[in-house]
Amino acid sequence: MPARGGTSWDAWLVAGAVGVAGLPALHSAVPNGAGRLGSLLETFLPWTGAAVPVLVASALWARSKAGLLACAAPALVWCWMFGGLWFASSPGPHELTVVQHNVADDNADPAGTARALLASGARLVAVQELTVAARPRYQDVLGASHPHRAVHGTVGLWSTWPLSDVRPVDIRPEGFPASWRRGLRATVSAPGGPIAVYVVHLPSVRLGPTGLASAARDESAALLGARIADDPAGRLLVVGDLNGTVWDRGLGPLTGQLDAPEAGFAFSWPAALPVARIDQVLGRGVEVTRVAALKATGSDHLPVLGRVRLP
User: Could you give the residue range(s) of every CATH 3.60.10.10 domain in the chain?
Assistant: 96-309
Which residues, including other chains, have CB under 8 Å from residue 70's CB and lie 6 or more apart?
13, 14, 17, 18, 55, 59
Note whether 125 and 150 are within 8 A (CB).
no
For residue 88, what pLDDT is reported? 65
Whole-model pTM: value is 0.93
pLDDT digits (tens, 9 = 90+) for 240-270: 999 999 999 999 999 999 999 878 899 999 9
Would you say residue 209 has pLDDT above 80? no
What's the burial of 43, exposed, middle or buried (CB within 10 Å: 0-12/13-18/19+)? buried
In CATH, what number does 96-309 get?
A: 3.60.10.10
Would you say residue 92 has pLDDT above 60? yes
Work out whether the CA dihedral 118, 122, 126, 128 comes out positive or negative. Answer: negative
Average model confidence (pLDDT) for the chain?
A: 93
Burial 186-219 (b: 16+ CB within 10 A, else e): bbbebeeebbbbbbbbbbebeeeeebbebebbbb
Residue whose C-alpha is closest to residue 156's, from 136, 179, 177, 174? 136
pLDDT digits (tens, 9 = 90+) for 146-204: 999 999 999 999 999 999 999 999 999 999 999 999 999 999 999 889 999 999 999 99
Confidence tier at 5 by pLDDT (50, 70, 90) = low
Strands 193-201 and 236-241: parallel
Average pLDDT rounded to a whole number, residues 127-147: 98
Which one-letter DSSP state was computed for residue 262?
S
Distance between CA atoms of residues 103 and 128, nearest Å: 6
Percent of the chain with pLDDT over 70: 96
Residue whose C-alpha is closest to residue 267's, from 86, 50, 23, 54? 86
Q: Strand, coil or helix: what is 129?
A: coil
Number of residues assigned to the chain: 311
Which residues, including other chains, have CB under 8 Å from residue 160's CB and lie 6 or more apart?
123, 124, 145, 146, 147, 148
For residue 83, what pLDDT is reported? 86
Would you say residue 217 has pLDDT above 80? yes
Better pLDDT: 5 or 167: 167
